[in-house]
Amino acid sequence: MTAQDPLPAPLGLLAELTHRCPLGCPYCSNPLLLDKRDDELDAATWARVFREAAALGVLQVHLSGGEPAARRDLPEIVKAAREAGLYSNLITSAVGLTPTILASLADAGLDHVQISIQDSDEPSADHIAGYKGASARKRALAVEVVRLGLPLTINMVVHRANIGRINPMVELALSLGASRVEIAHVQYYGWALKNRAALMPTREQVTEAVRQVEFLREKHQGRIVIDAVVPDYYARFPKPCVGGWGRRSLNVTPAGRVLPCHAAEVIPELEFWNVREHSLAEIWRLSPAFAAFRGVGWMEEPCRSCSRREQDFGGCRCQAFLITGNAREADPVCHLSPSHTLVEQLAAASEDTAYSYRRS
Amino acid sequence: MTEQSSAVVPPVGRPRLVRGVRLTHSEAHGGWVLLAPERVFKADAITVEILKRCNGEVTLDAIVDELANTFAAPRERIHADVVTLLTSLADKKLLEFQQ
């Protein structure tokens, strides 16, 4: 997109219904400063946000958190998404989500469920989640999802402690009846950034993991779809973060702030608007945070003259800020970035320290 | 790779989109789209015509016959288009065949 192009229509809305979560995963992408329960938007406001989102062009809503099931009015929220004509996707830890609530979500029109699995090895999974018995509960609920006829995705976040078990994790997803697996290497924001040294795999581990995913994809073609999020600290080019800033998606926090991506609040210069004060259309069109890095006009070199600038949009603004201190720099993951050596140093700085668990 | 386990398209099977996959029209995105778990596919006119008929009640052969009639096009070509599309969707776990 260039400055002259019309404003794009967004495709997806990430609705963070709450930051409350029973699990303590050290790679959590939520911010260190979590929204409080008293500040959470009520179901009627979410319903209005969904209607505004649909009118703006949004097709899919991802109901996330924290743990969305921590909200008792979740069935009402799912129903509102359906009534707005949105495709609803529940992103859940499965802990705290009972079969009864799940059935009421299915009745309310839920389209898809994504359950996170921390590891195929149960003691390790519970250790990573910081919650004894989490793994067993997740497996039981996954079976229930499939029994209800809802499509299931198993999401596995990959890092140093479980990166060698991608194959058994995919086998686990198959045995649970999932139609899709998402293998997401940790992205270092929020709590994950705080735990970076404890989570970072080696380059050899990452290379092997990428090879393994390719192998499994071919092996299971037609049985299960395997999508992978690449580990960007070892990449040559950056990821096209959120498909381009203010181009395809919006994120609404539990308290109603609207962000171009879930980590955007780490960039201090940005001003976020709230759905309590503005319509979603106004925010998409006019809010300073969305305008800040939309298109290519904000870019500095080497991005400004790069042939890939409309392919990866300079990578991730949050990562550029977190590592270089300047949100307008190229994502330092890019080998063309003058700060690329910082990423190499950070990737090498792994140590076996205890996790700092996320607690809400 | 030694083995490809691509979905087989049975001529007497009755194709339908699986639960969690929906074909819908979007003004904002300029046409028909196929909504699936964490994915959105733009659907061109031919795809839409085929998918509208994939309701789990009509066999693949009957769909091909009907399309060939409606669009006065050679049956072999329509058949090839339909099989290509349905195989690709079945591989992505977006479509299934009722027996």
Q: Which pLDDT does position A359 carry in this prediction? A: 80
Which of chain A's residues have a Cβ under 8 Å away from the Cβ of B28? Answer: 9, 56-57
C-alpha to C-alpha distance for B97 and B14, rounded to whole angstroms: 5
CA dihedral B29, A298, A275, A81 (to 10 degrees): 30
Would you call A336 an interface residue with chain B, using a CB distance cutoff of 8 Å? no
ipTM greater than 0.90, yes or no? no
- From A163, A155, A213, A212, select the one nearest A180 (Cα to Cα): A155
Q: Which pLDDT does position B8 carry in this prediction? A: 67
Q: Which pLDDT does position A5 carry in this prediction? A: 60
pLDDT digits (tens, 9 = 90+) for B55-69: 999 999 999 999 999
Mind telling me how many Å the CA of B76 is from chain A's nearest CA? 25
Mind telling me how many Å the CA of A166 is from chain B's nearest CA? 19
Question: Ramachandran region of residue A133, left (φ > 0), alpha (ψ -120 to 50) or beta?
Answer: left
Q: Which pLDDT does position A3 carry in this prediction? A: 47
Which of chain A's residues have a Cβ under 8 Å away from the Cβ of B93? Answer: 179-180, 222, 224-225
Q: Which pLDDT does position B41 carry in this prediction? A: 94
**Which one of A219, A222, A227 has the shortest CB-CB distance to B7?**
A222
Q: Do B19 and A56 touch (CB under 8 A)?
A: no
Which of chain B's residues have a Cβ under 8 Å away from the Cβ of A151? Answer: 18-21, 37
- From A278, A265, A200, select the one nearest A233 (Cα to Cα): A200
Which of chain B's residues have a Cβ under 8 Å away from the Cβ of A222? Answer: 5-7, 90-91, 93
pLDDT digits (tens, 9 = 90+) for A243-278: 999 999 999 999 999 999 999 999 999 999 999 999
User: Distance between terminal CA atoms of chain B?
Assistant: 30
Would you call A87 an interface residue with chain B, using a CB distance cutoff of 8 Å? yes
Q: Which pLDDT does position A360 carry in this prediction? A: 67
Q: Which pLDDT does position B7 carry in this prediction? A: 61
Q: Give which of A86, A111, A285 to mutate to test B binding, by max B Cβ within 10 Å.
A: A111
Q: Which pLDDT does position A246 carry in this prediction? A: 95
What contacts A301, CB < 8 A, 6 or more positions away? Answer: none
Mean pLDDT by 10 residues, chain A (360 residues): 70 97 94 93 98 97 96 98 97 96 98 97 97 97 97 96 96 97 92 92 92 95 89 88 93 98 94 98 97 94 95 93 94 94 87 85
Which tokens sit at A97? Answer: 């989500």
Q: Do A9 and B19 touch (CB under 8 A)?
A: no
What contacts A286, CB < 8 A, 6 or more positions away? Answer: none
Are A199 and A349 a contacting pair, CB within 8 Å? no
Q: Which pLDDT does position A232 carry in this prediction? A: 84
Q: For tokens 């009745």, name the residue.
A: A107
